Amino acid sequence: MFKPALAAVLVASCCSAKADNIEHISIYANRTATPAQDVLASVTVLERDEIVARQATDLPALLAQLPGINLSRDGGRGQSSGVYIRGGNTGHTLVLVDGVRTGSATLGYKSLAMLPLELIERIEVIRGPRAAWYGSDALAGVIAISTRRAQAVELNANVGSYGQAGTDLSLSHQSGSLQLHATAGISRADGFNVRDDLDSDNDGYRQQFVKLAADYDTTLGLFSAQADVNSGTYQFDNAWSSEDEADTLSRAYFIGWQQQLGGWQHQTRLSRNLDREVTFGPESRSPFNTVRDEFSYQAATDLTETLSWLGGVNWYQEQVSKAAPDFEQTSRINRAAFTALQYQQAAWQLEGTVRRDLINQYGANNTWQLAAAYQLSEHWQARLSRGAAFKAPSFNELYFPGFANPDLKPQESISDELALVYQGDHLHMQVAWFDRDITNLIQGVEQAENVLLASIKGLELSIKQRWQQLGSDFNYTWLDSENHSTGLQLERRPEHSINWRGSYQRDNLSVFVSADYQSSTYQGAFAPVANLGGFTLWGLGGSYQLNDQLSVRAKLDNLLDKDYQTSAGYTTAGINFAISLSYSPR
């Protein structure tokens, strides 16, 4: 049940501070660099400084602090986590890493639990459909991650509760027109027992990652190349088999080129993404290896002073190179073309985008998006959008024995959004109403099935303020979801959620306090508990700049040692601490 008293306290606290006027640039919402306030969608951008300042445990925990996002965990750091944007399934969010489509073709989405925060330079979250720009998977939103490109040497180390420890190093070197970047790190934790009823051991993880990148700027354009390797092991508790540990490996490579020729911007990229997970135990071993090769090209130009155009093509092949058991089909190809027009005149902004995807399993899928904004005054803007999106079934949903349904249809949706935005020197506020109808939603425990119709609607309120040394970030989301075949809520979607973070900074000292509230959630007919109660978590942290080269950070999560669950039956962390050091020689 929603607690209005808590909301009132947090809103009152929120209104005691004001937000600084730092312009953020959206790179992925329109596939070109655009000031965030000019994007006709709900966008949140986190730069490296803010990612570090928030001191989140991992990437899912960081994303759960943002408007319109809730989190479901099967344990602690390293274990499986579901990230739901505006009530969409985990697989309804496209995850881009340095512009490359990522994720397992068998799962149908990117697992974020083992994607290290230490490797991330920037995060851009676009809430709402973006399939007209990116195709399948971008039904509920896009999470676009840019990895580290440090401009100097930086060394970080951290320790924390449950045996948590890690270190990472970033380097950069420039020689004329050639710039090189490298980041490498390791991380581990003993963890805690995530299911008391299944296994008595602690469930931890081990991880190591490395990234190498090069940029070469010439008269023919900017050439880029990059390689990322992220591997590790995590432990879990499993009620369906004896397997309780998994080895993971993610490798991504790309080469790219971009050039400004007269009034035209050209960009092309060729990439390969490999995703491997091998689960094992005393009695069995299950490997799943998938490969995605992708090519994309786009061009953009200003047709007139008020009208701009962007268009391009996209091709990718997904292949299951190894799976246990064998799948009936192991490969599919997607070919697509897209085009967009953007118009800006006086107080008006208009945008239209269409895309056509040809998947060899399903034929054509057409998606589109229309948006308009009107500047009501210097600080106030009204925005309206409608878009169509789809998601193709994953290989597991189509071909995994005992669960698969080869007759599944792609999930399709129509989404609307109406937003009112205030942008001032010290205050940014947005209230957004959204409504999405999904046909052929894929659900199921014993077998994947298409739900004829599901609906999701909700309201987001976000207020960011700064006033002198004080700061406040407040987010509230109301969500109403329904499976029209059963009349029940969709699983693991809380009706109400609140995130608040208040901060104070003076000289070299910065401190913050946070509160996160989530109302009760329906867990499904097959869950150990049909409904989980709501909860509020408090946190406290701070940082101190010891000198120009060295800083220290510390935090306490779950300050009141709240006993709570976000996934029925799975234990979550009690009160826990973390301490980290950053060293960057000048």
Please write the tens of the pLDDT for every residue from 25-64.
899 999 999 998 899 999 999 999 999 999 999 999 999 9
Q: How far apart are CA 393 and CA 510, in angstroms?
A: 46
Q: Which single residue is written with the structure tokens 């966008």?
A: 43
Rounded mean pLDDT, 391-419: 91
CA distances from 409 to 337, 361, 441, 452, 481 (A): 22, 10, 9, 11, 21
Could you tell me which of 93, 105, 187 has the C-alpha nearest to residue 140? 93
Q: Measuring CA to CA, how many Å separate 103 from each of 99, 117, 199, 224?
A: 13, 17, 29, 22
Domain 4-342+495-520+533-583 has CATH 2.40.170: yes
Tell whether the torsion through CA atoms of 434, 435, 439 and 441 is positive or negative: positive
User: Which residues are CB-contacts of 233 (< 8 A; sequence separation ≥ 6)?
Assistant: 205, 206, 207, 245, 246, 247, 248
Ramachandran area for residue 163 (φ above 0: left; ψ -120 to 50: alpha; else beta): left
pLDDT, tens digit (0-9, with 9 covering 90-100), for 108-124: 999 899 899 999 999 99
* Residue 15 in this model has a pLDDT that exceeds 50: no
- Report whether 272 contacts 253 (CB < 8 A): yes
Mean pLDDT over residues 127-156, rounded? 94
Number of Cβ within 10 Å of residue 9's Cβ equals 14
For residues 471 and 492, give the distance between their C-alpha atoms in angstroms, rounded to a whole number: 31
Contact 102, 134 (CB under 8 A): no
* pLDDT score, position 448: 85
Q: Tell whether the model's pLDDT for residue 5 goes beyond 80.
A: no
Is 194 in a helix, a strand, or coil?
coil
The pLDDT of residue 456: 97
Question: Would you state the structure tokens that stand for residue 266, as one six-digit string?
Answer: 């050209």
In the chain, the percentage of residues whose pLDDT exceeds 70 is 96
- Residue 223 β-bridge partners: 216, 257
Beta partners for 184? 169, 210
**Distance (Å, whole) CA 24 – CA 10:** 25
Cα–Cα distance measured from residue 541 to residue 511, given in angstroms and rounded to the nearest whole number: 6
Q: Are residues 365 and 388 in contact, defined by beta-carbon separation less than 8 angstroms? A: no
> How far, in Å, CA of 67 to CA of 23, rounded?
19
Q: Which residues contact 497 (CB under 8 A, 6 or more apart)?
A: 70, 476, 477, 479, 516, 517, 518, 519
* Per-residue model confidence (pLDDT) at position 3: 40
Residue 242: what pLDDT? Answer: 80
pLDDT grade for 400, boundaries at 50, 70 and 90 = confident
pLDDT of residue 6: 37
CA gap 92, 95 in Å, rounded = 10
Of 7-16, 282-291, 362-371, the one with minimum mean pLDDT is 7-16
Average pLDDT over residues 207-226: 96
Nearest to 213 by CA among 99, 326, 300: 99
pLDDT beyond 50 at 102? yes
Tell me whether strands 93-97 and 141-147 are parallel, antiparallel or unpaired: parallel
Rounded to a whole number of angstroms, the distance between the first and last alpha carbons of the chain is: 52
Average pLDDT over residues 561-572: 94
The better pLDDT of the pair 528, 12 is held by 528
Q: What is the mean pLDDT of residues 14-22?
A: 42
Res 2: pLDDT: 35
The predicted pLDDT at position 209 comes to 97
Write out pLDDT tens, residues 428-458. Answer: 999 999 999 999 998 877 788 888 899 999 9
Q: Would you say residue 190 has pLDDT above 90?
A: yes
Model-level pTM? 0.94
Whether the predicted pLDDT of 10 surpasses 70: no
| pLDDT reported for residue 370 | 98
**pLDDT confidence of 22, banded at 50, 70, 90?**
low
Mean pLDDT over all residues of the chain? 92
**φ and ψ at 324, to 5 degrees?**
-125, 115
Q: What angle do CA 175, 179, 183 make, to 5 degrees?
A: 125
- Non-local (6+) Cβ contacts of 250 within 8 A are 102, 114, 115, 228, 229, 230, 231, 273, 274, 275, 276
How would you class 407 by CB atoms within 10 Å of its CB: exposed for 0-12, middle for 13-18, buried for 19 or more? exposed
The answer to which of 58-72, 126-140, 230-244 has the lowest mean pLDDT is: 230-244
* Among candidate residues 224, 281, 284, 286, the one with its CA nearest the CA of residue 255: 224
Alpha carbons 430 and 465: distance in angstroms, whole number: 12
The sign of the dihedral angle between the CA atoms of 145, 147, 152, 158 is positive
| CA angle (328 as vertex; 324, 333 as ends), nearest 5 | 105
CA 251 to chain CA mean position, Å: 19
Q: Which residues is 323 bridged to in the sheet?
A: 288
* Per-residue pLDDT at 529 exceeds 80: yes
Looking at residue 444, its pLDDT comes to 77
Q: So what's the pLDDT on residue 344? A: 95
Q: Is 342 a residue whose pLDDT tops 90?
A: yes
- Averaged pLDDT, 259-264: 93
**Binning pLDDT at 50, 70 and 90, where does residue 94 land?**
very high
Buried b (16+ CB within 10 A) or exposed e, 500-531: bbbbebeeeebebbbbbbbbebbbbeebeeee
Which residues, at least 6 apart from 407, have a Cβ–Cβ distance to it below 8 Å? Answer: none
Structure tokens at 526: 């097959």
Please give the full DSSP string across 296-327, using - where no structure is assigned: EEEEEEESSSSEEEEEEEEEEEEEEEEESS--
